[in-house]
Amino acid sequence: MDNWQKFQNWIANTPLGHAVSVFLGVYVATMAAQWANDGVVSFDNWQSWFIAGFSAAAVVIANWLNPEQKQYGRKGKPTEDVVDVEIEPDDVGA
C-alpha cells in the first residue's frame, strides 16, 4: 500500500482523519464564500477561515473523546445499529 492509499485510509477510517477532512472542507468553503463576495482571494482574513474550520472539526473531536458517543466514542468499536446495505441495480433504476 503506497502512502497516498494509507492517507486515504486514515482520512476515511479514523476520527482524527474525519476531523481533518471536516476542517479542510469548511476552510475551503469559507474561503470560496469570501471569494464569491469580494471577487478576490485575499489571505488577509485567514483567521476567519481557520476559526470556521476549527469550530466544525471540534465537534468531531468532542464526539471522539466522549465515551458515550455511539458513532465511535473513545474506543472506536462499531455499534450494533450500523447496517451494511447492498444496492442492487434494480434499486437505482438501472
Question: pLDDT, tens digit, for every residue of 17-76?
Answer: 888 888 988 988 988 988 898 888 888 878 888 898 888 888 888 888 877 776 664 454
Number of structural domains the chain divides into: 1
Q: Cα separation of 80 and 77, whole Å?
A: 10
Residue 12 pLDDT = 79
Q: Which phi and psi (to 5°) does residue 79 adopt?
A: -100, 165
Q: Is residue 5 part of a domain?
A: no
Kindly give, in sequence order, each residue whose CB lies less than 8 Å from that of residue 17, ignoring residues fewer than 6 positions away: 10, 11
Q: Cα separation of 48 and 33, whole Å?
A: 12
Residue 88 pLDDT = 66
Residue 93 pLDDT = 55
For residues 31 and 23, is the Cβ–Cβ distance under 8 A? no
Q: Nearest CA to 27 among 56, 55, 45, 50?
A: 50
For residues 20 and 11, is the Cβ–Cβ distance under 8 A? yes
Residue 85 pLDDT = 55
- In this prediction, residues 66-91 reach a mean pLDDT of 59
- Domain residue limits at 55: 10-77
Q: Is residue 63 part of a domain?
A: yes
Under the banding of pLDDT at 50, 70 and 90, the label for residue 89 is low
Q: Is residue 86 part of a domain?
A: no
